[in-house]
Structure 1
Amino acid sequence: MYNSMDEVPVSLHASIDTGDGEFDMNTLISNNAHILFIVLDSLRYDIALQEQTAGNTPNLNHYGQWTKCEAAGNFTWPSHHAMYSGFMPKPIDDTVNQTMLFFPKDIGLGRKGPKNAFAFDDATWIKSLENKGYQTICIGGVSFFNNRSGMGKVFPSMFKESYWHPRFACTVKESMDNQIHYIQKIMAERAGSQPVMMYINIDTIHYPNHFYVEGAAPGDTVETHAAALRHIDARIDGLLNIFRQTGGETFVIVCSDHGTCYGEDGKYFHSFNHPIVNTVPYMHFLLSGNH
């Protein structure tokens, strides 16, 4: 008789059974905690670690240390399909004790996930949160979220609400400021009416990013990549404060979907497999409300 669990090695079943995370997602969701999922598109792990160690990202550093992880894809499209289905970047240095925040049932790992994971039946955990009363909101950045093409409509359609504007595009130096301003507006309109699950694609680091170094000529480098991350760090608390002001708890996920190359091994950009592209930073933490 067919059993989807037969598709996965028994050793992985054991890791699922024992892989309870530090946060109980079921309790958080039952208590209507907001969920904020921030992707810093294209952020490389090595540069994230470099800036963290040097103290150049004090606001992000306040919330924790980056975990060195392996992305599920080498560009935005595959990585997001995986993450929206519960397959977040996996820690590279601990391949045995893998934990899951969101557990998809019946895809080879059984129906019962880790005790603290939110198990879901829908195509995405986002849809399952919507079915539990969450207002799910997508704030787009790169063109995969722009609602202006067939592919650009796929990810936004996974949310109850989706927003994109040319001012949010990666070619706009102030894109993150524009996103935060818009988020402040739409969150003020809700005024605590229901819990929010919000995804934000922050595209500051994505090509082009040379303009984050004053006077730099066109052409991105590891230096301009790092400068773009510092630009984000200077603004991240402005974003988090919007959720603090709701008065409730917010579970925050911050990670990259893939890295990008600047000539390493003759490689440029991403959408190919290379350690720099496949290795990404990840963190999550619980944010308390101010009220």
Structure 2
Amino acid sequence: MWNPLLLFRRPRYTENFLLVTYDSCRHDSYQAARTPILDAHTEARRAWSQATYTYASHASIFQGMLPHSFTEEAYYNRYVRQLWRQPHRKQGSVDARVVFPAGVKNLIEGFNRLRYFTCGTAAMGWFRHPSLREYWQAFQWTGINARRQVSWIKDQIFRHRRRPCFAFINFGETHSPYRFDESVAGTEGEAAARKARKGKRLTRQDWSFDEEGWRRQVACVEFLDAQMGDLLACFREIGKDVTVVMCGDHGDCFGEEGLYGHGFYHPRVMEVPLAIFEYPARQTAAG
């Protein structure tokens, strides 16, 4: 539970943050997709998830441990500079952009203590678990429905626009069955994928890449990029700059070594996109 008395304190930080996770989105799916909205601001790096499934990955992210990229860039590599950090998690002499007060349990409580408005919405069922919902001032579980999520989070940001915000969305369209509307071709992937998802063991000769499923995930990335444009416009409309973090929480296998889905170690499960950029409220003519 957050403490409303914190509203009477003067905020130490005033910049806004938006954290967006594309559930189950592997790096090569993102790279294959047309993503003009986010590409206008930065190129997504290949990063490595902290976990193989939604709950564990978000538990790590909410501790300030984003997917890790082996690049000498601040925020992408927390050993260069961290974006958010709890005081007891200091990496030697490494600096952080936001340091939370002592004793906070996670990022959400940390931002509450800094007098931020915190709001989140999630698609995946793991977010029914109390530990992922705790401390948010406003939270909504929607199931897989990006348009509804964007509409809700925009309303929350607008209603609390006088305060700095930490907003979060977990998009589910990139999770199986990789659909964003009824016009998406296919439903269950190719034969081997259907068999594996029913719990049937595959022999080596049955291994095959689920091209249909992978292409549908690519299409879902493109759909979500358009939703990001609508979401970012909200900050422009209220005249607020925002630092954006977009990442996959983990990836999916589509038949590599006979594996489908996630929840186990495989390079394709661990490789995810990570993009971090500042979105200015006042856009240039080109922006």
TM-score band, normalised by shorter chain: 0.7 to 0.9
User: How far does residue 93 in structure 1 lie from its aligned partner after superposition?
Assistant: 4.9
User: How far does residue 86 in structure 1 lie from its aligned partner after superposition?
Assistant: 1.0
Q: Is the CA contact 1:245–1:290 (under 8 Å) kept in the aligned structure 2?
A: no
RMSD: 2.3
Q: Is the CA contact 1:213–1:227 (under 8 Å) kept in the aligned structure 2?
A: no
Output the CA distance in 2 between the equivalents of 1:283 and 1:96: 14
* Deviation digits for residues 178-219 of structure 1 (CA, Å, limit 9, x no counterpart): 1112223223322x2211111111111111214658362311
Counterpart of 2:228, as a letter, is I
Is structure 2 residue 189 aligned with structure 1 residue 202?
no
Is structure 2 residue 122 aligned with structure 1 residue 144?
no
Counterpart of 1:80, as a letter, is H
Structure 1 segment 66-85 matched on structure 2, within 5 A: 66-85=44-63
Output the CA distance in 1 between the equivalents of 2:50 and 2:118: 23
Q: Is the CA contact 1:68–1:279 (under 8 Å) kept in the aligned structure 2?
A: yes
User: How far does residue 125 in structure 1 lie from its aligned partner after superposition?
Assistant: 2.4
The 3 A distance-change label for structure 1 pair 194 and 267 is: same
1:169 paired residue number: 143
| TM-score (structure 1 length as normaliser) | 0.77
Structure 1 segment 1-291 matched on structure 2, within 5 A: 30-51=12-33, 56-93=34-71, 98-107=80-89, 109=91, 114-120=94-100, 121=102, 122-146=104-128, 152-164=129-141, 168-170=142-144, 175-190=145-160, 192-210=161-179, 214=183, 216-220=185-189, 221-290=213-282
Aligned residues: 244
Output the CA distance in 1 between the equivalents of 2:130 and 2:51: 19
| TM-score (structure 2 length as normaliser) | 0.78
The 3 A distance-change label for structure 1 pair 281 and 105 is: same
Counterpart of 1:225, as a letter, is Q
Identity fraction in percent: 23
- SS of residue paired to 1:89: coil
Task: Provide runs of 4+ in structure 1 moved above 4 Å.
Answer: 93-97, 210-213
The 3 A distance-change label for structure 1 pair 273 and 125 is: same
User: How far does residue 261 in structure 1 lie from its aligned partner after superposition?
Assistant: 1.1
- The unaligned stretches of length 5 or more in structure 2 are 1-10, 190-212
- SS of residue paired to 1:285: strand
User: How far does residue 132 in structure 1 lie from its aligned partner after superposition?
Assistant: 1.1
